[in-house]
Amino acid sequence: MKIDANGTEIRVMGDVVNEDAYISLTDIAKYKNPDNAFIVVANWMRNHSTISFLGLWEQIHNPNFKPIEFDRFKAESGDNAFTLKG
């Protein structure tokens, strides 16, 4: 499934009816930088607000979430040298 947002086509994957679907961040990023969307996504992934949101999401949905380990990521987020690694 795809949706149109201000002329940008965004893919939706998963079960929309049961609210278990995901939208493509890369497709959204193409609105800002069509040729190098990965740069936009990389910047999002080092933003303090994004890291805080991901931490909250993990607390709610991940029973194995490790808040003490996460605190280091959250404290470093936003620094120019910070990159989130899996």
* Cross-strand bridge partners of residue 10: 3
Res 72 pLDDT > 90: no
The strand ranges marked E within 1-86 are 2-5, 8-15, 20-23
For 41-62, the pLDDT digits (tens) are 988 888 889 889 999 999 999 9
Instruction: Quote the percentage of the chain above a pLDDT of 90.
Output: 47
- Both tokens of 2, joined, read 């795809």
Confidence of residue 84 (pLDDT cuts 50, 70, 90): low
CB 55 within 8 A of CB 47: no
Among candidate residues 52, 63, 3, 45, the one with its CA nearest the CA of residue 28: 3
Give me the amino acid identity at 46: R
Weakest-pLDDT range from 24-33, 59-68, 70-79: 70-79
